[in-house]
Amino acid sequence: MTTNKLIFDEETHLYTLSGERLPSVTQVLEELKLSDFSSVSDTRMEAALDFGKAVHLATQYDDKKTLDENTLDEKIRPYINAWRSFKKDYRVRIKKIEQRVMSKKYRYAGTFDRVAIVMDYLSVVEIKTSVVIPKSACLQLVAYKDAYNSENPGRTLSRRYAVLLKDDGTYKVEDYRDPSDINVFLAALAIYIYKRR
């Protein structure tokens, strides 16, 4: 039996809608080497991914005000401090956490980190823990923004932010406003689909 609901399989990282597999935003970017980590060893990549997941989980608990400070790993504490500083400095009010989105029109899906009011604008926010913010973050965020806006008429996301949390408790923010980013992502999606045929 098929359903008209987006389904995500955590183990295989696959999105499906009514039995149709939808490419994820990150799969599109990785396939076309727009988000390329091929120079990083598998062991190092796995460790970085595990650490990133731990930081993301801690920020979720912090946003929900359920973070137990006594159980927080000391390696993660600076990242939480950076996240809290960002939220304070940018007057952030969290609206949604780790929500799946899809574009029925363009047939792709993904999971964004946050939708929040940032400096009085409804925005999509991506948390990064890498050494630098990947160049492809602008495309990742515009894809989430476009999918969210197509599914939520009347609650339009107007801004896109990538927030790099650092191990010294500071952060760096990229505020993406180039309207042509969506054209680049859709071109990448078209090539991804063409290659998969």
Encoding tokens for residue 126?
């991506």
Domain range annotation of the chain: 37-184
The amino acid at 89: D
Place of tokens 């990229």: 174
Taking the C-alpha atoms of residue 161 and residue 142, their distance in angstroms, rounded to an integer, is 10
Model-level pTM?
0.91
Taking the C-alpha atoms of residue 112 and residue 143, their distance in angstroms, rounded to an integer, is 10
Taking the C-alpha atoms of residue 137 and residue 146, their distance in angstroms, rounded to an integer, is 14
pLDDT in tens, the chain (197 residues): 445 789 998 888 899 988 899 999 999 999 998 876 555 566 776 777 789 899 999 999 999 999 999 999 999 999 999 999 999 999 999 999 999 999 999 999 999 999 999 999 999 999 999 989 999 999 999 999 999 999 888 889 999 999 999 999 999 999 999 999 999 999 999 999 999 88
| Top-level class of domain 37-184 | alpha beta
Taking the C-alpha atoms of residue 80 and residue 87, their distance in angstroms, rounded to an integer, is 11
Q: What is the DSSP letter of 141?
A: H
| 176 neighbors 123 (Cβ within 8 angstroms) | no
Taking the C-alpha atoms of residue 97 and residue 109, their distance in angstroms, rounded to an integer, is 16
